[in-house]
Amino acid sequence: MSAIRGSFLDFVADPFYYPELETVRYIHDGLMIISRGIIQELGNYDKLKPKYPEIPIISYPGMLILPGFIDIHIHYPQTEIIASSSKQLLEWLDKYTFPAEGKFKDQTYAQQIASFFLDQLLKNATTSALVLTTVYPQSVDALFEVAELRNMRIIAGKMLMDRNAPDYLLDTPETSYEDSKNLIKKWHGKGRLLYAITPRFAITSTPEQLHLAGVLKQEFPDVYVHTHLSEQKSETEKVAQLFPNSKDYLDVYEKFGLVSNKSIFAHGIYLSDSEFNRLSQAGSTIAFCPTSNLFLGSGLFQLHTAKSQQTPVKVGLGTDVGGGTSFSIFQTMNDAYKVSQLQGQNLSSLKAFYLATLGGAKSLSLEDKIGNFDVGKEADLVVLDTRVTPLLKLRNSRNNSDLLTDIIDELFTLIILGDERVVKATYLAGNLVYEPNIMSI
């Protein structure tokens, strides 16, 4: 049993639908009791400390402690091609992505990149992620093996592609089915690891492959579906050509039984009202990836439509490395704020941090395990220094204020000015796994 002392902030409801100040829980001087990786109690330090006189306490005075961030769309094989200049999506895939993914046939190489990749997440305060791999099963094994060492909650799956990609990256409907089935049996539910059936997007899968992906989902209804949807106009036009009998892009996936409450669709920029409505009815999720959308010139995601009362859709944040330009959820929130501003909308700091924590957990149907500090949940948390740089120190010159309004203002400064230097410590299941200049697995 262990204890952590500091200022705790998390969410108990969705600020898109309830008065914002009623959705946040803030304890200025709090104490969290952790046993076997699970939160046992959280409350005011003065009240809880007498109950646990012998427990050693790790204190973070002046620090802000939040649930670990959740990244719901990121490509680990694209780590080495981040910041690669090109035209828009389809050319970028041909020029950079496909050659990079070809290297992951080598499992030793895949393990090296996977280890570096997960370390980058942890140093950027991300404790859970939904990750795309490659067509090679060994690339999935590599990621899960290094994630298991860290006891990190990772969802991933073998990518399915049987057309419109280089020959060395193509599988077949039959091999994609068999490989995925074997990987599901091997990894899904092992420790904190979960599996996602992962067709890259409709352009790179034949109807036969998507059919067998749907068969997998029927056979293993508890696994996820993770793919792309309506990222760019040229993509949607190509999908319409390849699937002329489908009424829209979403309908392609619907026809094969791939749209459910455990389906996560990245981007969703060019969705019709009908598609928003059907995603809402299915309980599906959209991964909002603003740094990637801006970098690749894809467009502006309509967050206000997705989070409307009329068509509420689950939304989480995705860095989408390597089309995305940073592993940092701070930078992702920064660009999300700007994307909203460009559409005449305002993304408050509480709404942004909700998407990065409890909203991300709900988008992955994991709100019973992660996302906030409720008793019984896994103790994934991050310790943030809101005055770590000279500029943040000047901007956040309060003297350890206990006012929630001051804390909300500080959260916004982290969105605009924060980066990995803000992260003082990262914990997975109650264990310290990252401090600046120290990485522990």
pLDDT for the residue numbered 402: 73
Average of pLDDT values for 381-410?
89
pLDDT for the residue numbered 400: 58
Domain that holds residue 110: 69-327
Tell me: do 308 and 184 sit in the same domain. yes
Tell me: do 140 and 277 sit in the same domain. yes
109, 111, 116, 117 alpha-carbon torsion, rounded to 10°: 110
Q: b vs e for 225-252, b when ≥16 Cβ sit within 10 Å of the residue's Cβ? A: bbbbbbbbeebbebbeebbeebebbbbb
Strands of 2-11's sheet, edge to edge? 38-44, 24-35, 2-11, 57-67, 381-384, 423-428, 431-435, 438-439
Q: Which residue has the higher pLDDT, 258 or 86?
A: 258
Tell me: do 214 and 229 sit in the same domain. yes
Percent of the chain at pLDDT > 90 equals 91
pLDDT for the residue numbered 439: 55
Tell me: do 239 and 282 sit in the same domain. yes
212 found inside a domain: yes
Q: pLDDT tens across 109-142, in order?
A: 999 999 999 999 999 999 999 999 999 999 999 9
Amino acid at 433: V
3-state secondary structure of 335: helix
Give the number of C-alpha atoms closer than 13 A to the C-alpha of residue 421, restricted to the C-beta side: 10
Backbone angles phi, psi at 124, to 5 degrees: -105, 15
pLDDT for the residue numbered 269: 98
Q: pLDDT tens across 147-179, in order?
A: 999 999 999 999 999 999 999 999 999 999 999
337 found inside a domain: no
Examine the pLDDT at 183 and tell me if it is beyond 60.
Answer: yes
Q: How many whole angstroms separate alpha carbon 115 and alpha carbon 100?
A: 17
Whose CA is closest to 135, among 164, 151, 148, 145? 164
User: Strands 159-160 and 2-11: what pairing?
Assistant: unpaired
pLDDT for the residue numbered 280: 98
Percent of the chain at pLDDT > 70 equals 98
pLDDT for the residue numbered 438: 65
Q: pLDDT tens across 96-106, in order?
A: 889 899 999 99
Asked if 408 contacts 350 with a C-beta cutoff of 8 angstroms, the reply is yes
Tell me: do 111 and 200 sit in the same domain. yes
| Domain end among 300, 327, 354 | 327
Tell me: do 174 and 281 sit in the same domain. yes
3-state secondary structure of 195: strand
Tell me the longest C-alpha to C-alpha distance in the chain: 69
3-state secondary structure of 127: strand
Written as one string, the DSSP assignment of 37-91 is TEEEEEEEHHHHGGG-TTS-EEEEEEEEEEEPEEEEEEEGGGGGGTT---SSHHH
102 found inside a domain: yes
Sign of CA dihedral 40, 41, 46, 50: negative
Local confidence band at 93 (pLDDT 50, 70, 90 cut-offs) = confident
Q: pLDDT tens across 268-304, in order?
A: 999 999 999 999 999 999 999 999 999 999 999 999 9
Average of pLDDT values for 254-273?
98
The CATH number of residue 198's host domain is 3.20.20.140
pLDDT for the residue numbered 440: 47
Asked if 32 contacts 39 with a C-beta cutoff of 8 angstroms, the reply is yes
pLDDT for the residue numbered 398: 66
Q: How many whole angstroms separate alpha carbon 329 and alpha carbon 5?
A: 24
Least confident of 61-65, 93-97, 104-108: 93-97
Average of pLDDT values for 298-315?
97
Number of domains in the chain: 2
Examine the pLDDT at 437 and tell me if it is beyond 80.
Answer: no
344 found inside a domain: no
